[in-house]
Amino acid sequence: MKTGSWASILGIYLFGVCGASTVSKIIPLGGDLAHWFDLGPAHFGWLVSLIAVPAALLAIPSGMVVDRFGPRIVLLCCALLGITANVIYSFAPTMLMLQVARLLEGTVIVHMYTAGPALLMATTEGKRRTTAMTIWATYMPVGTAVGLTIGGLFAETQGWRLTFACHGALYLAAGLLGLLQPDVKVRHPSAKPGLAAQILDLRAAYARPGLLLLGLAFFLMISMGLGANVTFPRYFSRAHDISMASASQMVAMATLVMVPGSLFAGLVLSRGLSQQMLFTLLGVVGFVVGILSFFPHLDIPVRYMVLGGWFFASGAAIAVLLATLPVVAEPQRRGAATALINQAGALATFVNPPIWLTYAEGTDWTPFAVLLGTGWSIAIAAMWLLALNAAKNRVTAPSA
């Protein structure tokens, strides 16, 4: 492939889609796993969230691995390990083997999420780079939709394990395209700070009130987004008396609305509206459409409308938080700040599925209203406290 070509960009993007679909592909399979491995809702939730453990532990070391071996080599190794994990899933006789595969996938995606942007930035320039990174930013909703679709196709059938064959084939396609990707020069290890220095930077980031507040808001947004995502298929299947495949397809289609939501946030912020004000407006809308998404007595067309509103608001809100990160983080600590945000997202991924899936067994919507109301309220408060902290720093800066 030619360096910086669209074929190269889309080939790298496929790795991001593979990673995001890793998280969501087993969500429609909750009933199958419960049947074959005697899993309750909470235990299934922990299996879903197990993928976040490597992400929390390897956020910093993954950057060093990419710097040492180069992003292309790391992506190729990720493809191989992703295929291996899906083979384990396909033949796993025990829950222990499923957990091993899940942890292996967690290791894969944390390295892919580091190596993918690194290869894009190394092989593109100027406007093409900006466009490439914008495209990369959409891998999460697209990958989530792909995972829900693949899992939904085989859920509640004797061939439910074919989900992993399809996902393994997706990794194989990404790996074959990865072989054609241009190679980039590996920077000398001394050109980057070591692990100890990066840990010190991360500790310094944790000491910054603005970053902590942003990390809290990000944690809450990922908590609500992931919690709702893992809950919707089973909840809608019960509420509308439809198959898990149909419910998963409904959620997969609505998830794609996050993409225009992100673009909308960028457009509005470029017109001068503050991050705090936009986030607050999105929070009000997100809370209303969020609780309506869980309201049991809705027709399916209305469900699609409120569900699309939920994903639009949550996609835009996450985009606002990410747009705020460069404003809050000092230039010398942006890497550590990004690691802090990534760890907040990983913690949210680990904690929330068991909580939300416990309530998904019935059609009572009030627990979800409480979770959404609490999450949005604290996140909005954190954003306004962040603005007050930034204003205070600007006032005291001249005398520092």
Average pLDDT over the chain, rounded to whole? 85
Residue 159 burial (10 A CB sphere; 0-12, 13-18, 19+): exposed
| Cβ atoms of 22 and 147 closer than 8 Å | yes
pLDDT (tens digit, 9 = 90+) per residue, 134-155?
688 788 888 888 999 999 999 9
Q: What mean pLDDT do residues 299-309 have? A: 93
**DSSP code of residue 157:** S
Residue 52 has pLDDT above 90, yes or no: no
Ramachandran assignment for 158, one of left (phi > 0), alpha (psi -120 to 50 degrees), beta (any other): alpha
pLDDT for the residue numbered 201: 61
Residue 177 has pLDDT above 90, yes or no: yes
Q: Which two tokens stand for residue 387?
A: 């603005």
Residue 331 has pLDDT above 80, yes or no: no
* Degrees to nearest 5, angle at CA 303 with 300 and 305: 120
7: three-class secondary structure by DSSP: helix
Q: What mean pLDDT do residues 13-29 have? A: 91
Share of the chain residues as helix, strand and coil, in percent rounded to the nearest 5: 85, 0, 15
Handedness of CA 208, 59, 310, 272 (dihedral sign): positive
Q: How confident is the model at residue 336 (pLDDT cuts 50, 70, 90)?
A: low
End-to-end CA distance of the chain: 52
Q: What mean pLDDT do residues 312-331 have? A: 80
Q: What are phi and psi of 295, to 5 degrees?
A: -65, 125
pLDDT (tens digit, 9 = 90+) per residue, 185-209?
755 555 556 666 666 665 666 667 8
Higher pLDDT, 360 or 83: 83
Task: Report how far residue 264's alpha carbon sits from residue 324's, in angstroms, rounded to the nearest whole number.
Answer: 15
Single out the residue of 20, 24, 17 nearest to residue 231, CA to CA. 24
| Cβ atoms of 335 and 67 closer than 8 Å | no
Single out the residue of 12, 235, 241, 244 nearest to residue 135, CA to CA. 12
Q: Which two tokens stand for residue 325?
A: 């990160």
Task: Report how far residue 382's alpha carbon sits from residue 388's, in angstroms, rounded to the nearest whole number.
Answer: 10
**DSSP code of residue 77:** H
